[in-house]
Structures are given as C-alpha cells and as structure tokens.
Amino acid sequence: MRNAPTILHLDMDAFYASVEQASKPSLRGKAVIVGGLGPRGVVATASYEARVFGVHSAMPMAQARRLAPNAAYLVPRFALYRSVSEQVMALLRELSPLVEPLSLDEAFVDLEAGGAAWDEESARLTGIKLRADIRAVTGLTGSVGLAASKMLAKIASEEAKPDGLVLIEPGTERGLLGPMPVRTLPGIGPATGDHLRRAGITTVDELAEAGEDELVRLLGKAHGHGLYAMALARDDRPVVAEREAKSVSVEDTYDVDIHDRIRVGLEVQRLADRCVRRLREAGLSGRTIVLKVRRYDFSTLTRSETLRGPTDDPAVIREAAARLLESVDTTGGVRLLGVGVSGLADYTQEDLFAQAAGEQGALAEAPEETAPEAVERPEPAERQWRAGYDVRHAEYGHGWVQGSGLGRVTVRFETPQSPPGRVRTFLVDDPALEPAEPLPLVLDGVDTEV
C-alpha cells in the first residue's frame, strides 16, 4: 500500500435531487424527492432537506409521501444527470489518466498517476480545488475522500458528506476502522452482515480478532481471505481506468427499467444469441463469457466466466450467461444488459474462419432480426406532462411542470439563473405550451463565486 493519501474518491451530494434544485430555483433549500411516482414507485434519492423526515433511497414512494407530504415529487431526468456526470468526470480526467467511475455520481482517481499529488498537502489542495471546480462548472457540491487506499478513500468521502472533504492520514487507518460496523467494509452486504452478527462479530475490530482461519470457515476461502485483509485496512486494489477489452459484445439499453427477473433472463438469452452471431460473423471464438448489467442507478457490474477452451457454441454461451446472471442482484431494476465474449483465441482463428465461411450462407438466410428496440418503444402518449420536465410557453417562456391532472397542467416559470418563478395553470392541450430541453445549470463564461 502507498504511504501518501493520493487516492481520491468523489461522490456527488444527493445527486439527482441537487441537479433538480440547481435547475429549479424555487426548490432550493426545500425537500425534493426524485423517483418513480406510480403506485409501485420507489425513491431514487431525496435532498438533504427531505432526509430530515426520514426519506431515503429505495424507500417506497407511498411511504415517502406519508413522511414528507409537502415535499416536491419529481420523476428522474436521466439525460440531464448523465450530461452533468460527464462534466464532473471530465474534471476528474484532468487530474489523472486513472479515473474509475463507479456510477453516474461517483469515481476513484489515482492522483499520483497523473502527478497531481504526491503527499498529504498536495492531495488536500487538489481535493479542495476539485470541489471548487465542480461547483463552478456544474453549480453542485460533491464530497471528497482522500486516503492511501480505495477502501479508506470511499469511507472518507462518506464521512465528508454533505459538501465536505476528509483526508485519512496514512498510519491512522486501523484505529479509525476498528470501531466501525462490519457493514462499512466493501463486500459486506446485509446477508454477510447478518451471518457475521450471528457469529458475534459486529465491528471491524472483532472481524480482525476473529482471525483469518475463522473468517475463511465462516465465509469461504475467497471472501474470508479478502475480508480479513480489509479488516486490517490492507487494500492494494489499484484504480483502473475503464478501457475496452478486446472482445465481441452486444448490449441493449431499455427505455423503462426491467424489474421482472424472468424478463431479464430472457433478454440475456437473446443477447447471448446475438453475440454468437457477431462472433461467427467475425470468424472468432472466445474463452471468457462476460455479462454486463447496468442497474437503475447507473452502477455497472460485469461478471465473467472463463471456460476451458474457446467456443462459439450458442448453447454453451447461453448457459454461461444465465449462470452469471444468477450472481447479480437486479431487484432495483435494470437499465442495460450486455453479453460479450473475450479471450478471443488467435491460434484457432484460421480454422474458425473456414468454419464460419461454411456457415455464413446459412446465417445470411436466417430471417433478419427485427430491432426489438423499435418495436417495443411505446407510442408517445398524447400530451403527457411529466412532473419536473421542462416546457416552453409561447408567451411566458421557459418553465417546468409542477403537476397535472383533471385536464390541466400547472407550470412554474423559472430558469436556473432566474429568481424563483410563479405558477400558472393551463389546459393540457393548450397549443401555446410545448415540451422543452433542460437549460444549462451554469452559463458558460460566467464565473460563479465559490
């Protein structure tokens, strides 16, 4: 492990809700809840003002409404959050070539790799400047953790929340971790947490005292091993930049998150078949089957399995993909699925080209797959005004939908740079009203005071 706190972890504060507050001046300083507003909707996130009432991510929306009846309730606007995320990630990439995004609002940065920092002081200054830059460019706050390892950097940014910076001095890690609950450590979810609690282990110190053999006995070899090292604050995992592995892969993004586990399974089978077709078209086969799952919050997981030899057999690839899916928790919903094959085998390539050439005719005759994306996309509902979405009125200008029902839509007319605006009500089919794109949160060339 390095001896300077030069691994940085950034996580934006109440991300979706903060973007909405930056976009809508009347909501600043107020309880804002973003999520699914239908009968089975869940909270994606809540502004810190709403958290005071006990509202949090993944809570059923109905429960949130009971706890915070006066909060503003909005549906998420992913395209906007993604564009803000890209601005933030671009700032991180100015610091280092080693940026590892974990989700839309969160990433690790290896400051040493970019020469941005080499000791405690330079790391702290870099973190302070980054927070100021994020604020200037996006208008939002993010919290920064700095430490000598990924694990501690993430714990530090959690401690720093909201709108803060925490640096963990090398050498103090064990003392700091010791009294914390085991759930603080990466890789300990609710199930492992319960399992350990039944064995009388609740804190990180108790985990370390249990010893490696006991942890291996309780949790199995790989997991027990890893957790013991984490409990001693030993974490050598490098920050890895996302890079394209040499592989053949296909993926699909879904307009509406898929929650149904059976449907997820069917999609994976379909993708496996498409991947095999690509593989054969390229005359390749591969040893490693990769499943990619992007969840509701844009966190992206990949799972892989390496076979004994290269294959392009659809049944084998389908089975492997299905096995990999079993290890992924998809309860919050799935936005994207992908199946790929890597470890492409060069030494058999010639044979496979011959084989593929023989099969290509058959493949070409197979009916062209209809693009399911195009078929499944629902017809745009007539004049649907979604809460929180931007609109433009011929006379009153830019605003956003505060609510709609009973043939009427209520619009608040304001922009990110305006003072809080006033509300007007229209008929849902008012021809002067039309949907609009979100406006930039910060105007270019205007320096924000920090």
447 known ligand binder: no
Work out whether the CA dihedral 188, 190, 195, 199 comes out positive or negative.
positive
Residues of span 79-108 touching Mg ion by CB under 5 A:
105-106
Smallest separation, CB 12 to ligand TTP (Å) = 5
Smallest separation, CB 189 to ligand TTP (Å) = 13
Cα(43)–Cα(58) distance, integer angstroms: 5
Cα(97)–Cα(190) distance, integer angstroms: 34
CB of 146 or CB of 275, closer to ligand TTP? 146
Smallest separation, CB 44 to ligand TTP (Å) = 3
With a CB cutoff of 8 Å and minimum separation 6, the contacts of 146 are 5, 6, 7, 8, 9, 123, 124, 127, 153, 156, 165, 166, 167, 168
Which window, 11-19, 67-75, 377-385, 414-422, contacts ligand TTP (CB under 6 A)? 11-19
CB of 105 or CB of 112, closer to ligand TTP? 105
**One symbol per residue from 78 to 107: x for binding ligand TTP (CB under 6 A), - otherwise; what is it?**
---------------------------xx-
Instruction: Give the amino acid at 132.
Output: A
List the single partner that 443 binds among ligand TTP, Mg ion, none, CB under 5 to 8 Å by kind: none
Which window, 11-19, 64-72, 336-344, 402-410, contacts Mg ion (CB under 5 A)? 11-19
List the single partner that 49 binds among Mg ion, ligand TTP, none, CB under 5 to 8 Å by kind: none
Instruction: Please report whether residue 135 would count as binding ligand TTP according to CB under 6 A.
Output: no
Distances from the Cα of 168 to the Cαs of 154, 155, 160, 230, in angstroms?
10, 9, 11, 16
Among the listed residues 4, 9, 16, 310, the single contact to ligand TTP using CB under 6 A: 16
251 is catalytic: no
Q: Tokens at residue 36, please?
A: 């699914």
Instruction: Please report whether residue 11 would count as binding ligand TTP according to CB under 6 A.
Output: yes
Which residue, chain included where needed, has tokens 């395209």? 79
Smallest separation, CB 35 to ligand TTP (Å) = 7
Tell the burial category of 374 from Cβ atoms under 10 Å away from its Cβ (0-12, 13-18, 19+).
exposed
E strand or H helix that includes residue 70: none
E strand or H helix that includes residue 132: helix 120-138
Give the count of residues interacting with Mg ion (CB under 5 A): 5
With a CB cutoff of 8 Å and minimum separation 6, the contacts of 333 are 257, 258, 259, 295, 296
13 known ligand binder: no
Among the listed residues 4, 7, 14, 74, the single contact to ligand TTP using CB under 6 A: 14
Among the listed residues 5, 10, 13, 264, the single contact to ligand TTP using CB under 6 A: 13
Instruction: Please report whether residue 297 would count as binding ligand TTP according to CB under 6 A.
Output: yes
Instruction: Please report whether residue 162 would count as binding ligand TTP according to CB under 6 A.
Output: yes
Rounded to the nearest angstrom, the gap between the alpha carbon of residue 183 and the centroid of all alpha carbons in its chain is 20
Catalytic residue among 20, 100, 106, 112: 106
Smallest separation, CB 387 to ligand TTP (Å) = 16
Instruction: Please report whether residue 15 would count as binding ligand TTP according to CB under 6 A.
Output: yes
* Nearest residue to Mg ion, by Cβ distance, number only: 106
3-state DSSP call for residue 157?
helix
CB of 256 or CB of 266, closer to ligand TTP? 256
Distances from the Cα of 112 to the Cαs of 3, 52, 109, 115, 166, in angstroms?
11, 38, 9, 5, 18
Q: Tokens at residue 45, please?
A: 């996130």
CB of 275 or CB of 337, closer to ligand TTP? 337
Q: Which residues pair with 106 in a beta bridge?
A: 11, 103
Q: Tokens at residue 160, please?
A: 């720093």
Q: Give Rg (Cα) of the chain.
A: 25
CB of 105 or CB of 414, closer to ligand TTP? 105
Q: Which residues bind ligand TTP (CB under 6 A)?
A: 11-16, 44-45, 57-58, 105-106, 161-162, 296-297, 332
Q: Which residues bind Mg ion (CB under 5 A)?
A: 11-12, 15, 105-106
User: Residues marked as binding for Mg(2+)?
Assistant: 11, 105
Could you give the residue numbers annotated as active site?
106
